[in-house]
Amino acid sequence: MIKSSPSPRLSIAVHGIGAHAQRTVLPAIKQCDAVELVGISTRNAEVRETQSAAWACPGWSTLDEMLASADMDVVFIASPIRCHFEDGQKVIEAGRHLWCEKSFTHDTAQAATLVEVAASKDLAVCVSMAPVYHHQFQMLKALIADNAIGKVRSLASQFAFPHTDSDNSKYDPDVGGGALLDMGYYPILMAAELLGEVPQLSGAVLETENGYAVDTGGGALLNFSGSVTATSQWGYGRDYINEMTVVGETGTIIAKPVFSKPTHLTPQLTLRRQNVDTDRDIPPCNQFAEMLSAFALATTDPDERRRYRERSLNHQNLLAQVAAISDATS
């Protein structure tokens, strides 16, 4: 489980106050004892005014203004993916720890640059992976470690939901839209987090529906040590599915919803042996608040800072491999 957070509280500012930040990031900061919100920045004047009032903090129109005017330990970047590299550079050059919404950057070269500069300044680079901090995922890892299903043989992850409004930024290539960086991120990288290693990629495909300018779905086949295989599938324009299944020698574990946690769905964890299901009780938690508490440790522990920087780069590299293999075989 997650270690205790450092004290006193870290001062944090958020740049990019879109729907996700309003719905998820800002409320999580409020619930997290490890951090204290000291400011926000967004070009949208109406959002800046309403959100500054809602969270009782100052607001600025640009990241540059916020960095120059506010005193903070950490900046959480929640701008569009295409902006993460430039925004991240500004944060690191200003001597602040960088916490970033997924995906980290648009390509591996950008990620490597940010990690290298952050390492030279001994700053943290932590990229959002909230589901792995939920009690559900921690319990799933514990069951595997306790040999509840014997040796793991395979893992399957699926994340999909229907199309949303066509003007949604997830369909806009100019801001880094597309299903791989938006959705494939979770079923691919959470398999790596669960099994504790960077896998080898055997195959991948990205799909683009007619009428769309970005990839709208895909799949990947991952190989782990011990002859463990993992399949990951994701996409827009499909029936809703949000689950992970781990098959072992003596049992199976099913977790759902395992990636995002819609408020109308209760997280479940089912241990299945010989078609007999046993449900495990999962304590309620805010996975984003838990993630922020874990990130806070990286500001005081150099080993944690190093681990998070390496994880950020490894994850970006794996996503890039998926895109490259798909391009090569299409």
pLDDT tens digit sequence for 195-225:
999 999 999 999 999 999 999 999 999 999 9
Mean pLDDT of the chain: 94
Give how many domains the chain has, as a whole number.
Answer: 2
Does some domain include residue 319?
no
- Classify residue 167: in a domain, yes or no: yes
Domain-embedded: residue 241: yes
The reported pLDDT for the residue numbered 329 is 57
- 97 and 191 in a single domain? The answer is no
Nearest to 268 by CA among 279, 260, 277: 279
| Domain range for 249 | 135-284
Instruction: Report the alpha-carbon distance of residue 75 to residue 230 in Å, rounded.
Output: 34
Q: Is 138 exposed, middle or buried (0-12, 13-18, 19+ CB in 10 A)?
A: middle
Claim to verify: residue 123 and residue 155 sit in the same structural domain: no
In a domain, 228, yes or no: yes
- Side by side, the strands of the sheet bearing 276-280 are 200-207, 217-224, 228-236, 152-161, 241-248, 252-256, 268-273, 276-280
What would you report as the CA-atom Rg of the chain, rounded to the nearest whole angstrom? 20
Give the per-residue pLDDT at 221. 97
Check residue 330 and give its pLDDT: 52
pLDDT of residue 289: 97
Residues 91 and 181 in one domain: no
| 248 and 148 fall within a common domain | yes
Q: What integer pLDDT is reported at residue 327 of this predicted model?
A: 65
Q: Identify whether residues 201 and 70 lie together within a single domain.
A: no
Within the chain, which residues score under 50 in pLDDT?
A: 1-6
Instruction: Give dist(CA 136, CA 33) in Å, integer.
Output: 21
Entry pTM: 0.94
What does the pLDDT read at residue 7? 55
Question: At 183, which CATH number?
Answer: 3.30.360.10
Q: Are residues 233 and 303 in the same domain?
A: no
Any domain includes 320: no
Residue 305 within a domain: yes
Q: Helices H, strands E: what count in the chain? A: 11, 14
Task: Reduce the DSSP state of residue 163 to 3 states and report it.
Answer: coil
Q: Within this chain, do residues 96 and 159 fall inside the same structural domain, yes or no?
A: no
Say whether 228 sits in a helix, a strand or coil: strand
Helix (H) or strand (E) holding 46: helix 45-55
Cα–Cα distances in Å, from 89 out to 52, 234, 250? 25, 30, 48
Nearest to 245 by CA among 182, 158, 310: 158
Same domain? 194 vs 54: no
State the pLDDT at residue 166.
Answer: 87
Q: What is the DSSP letter of 82?
A: G
Domain at 35, CATH number = 3.40.50.720
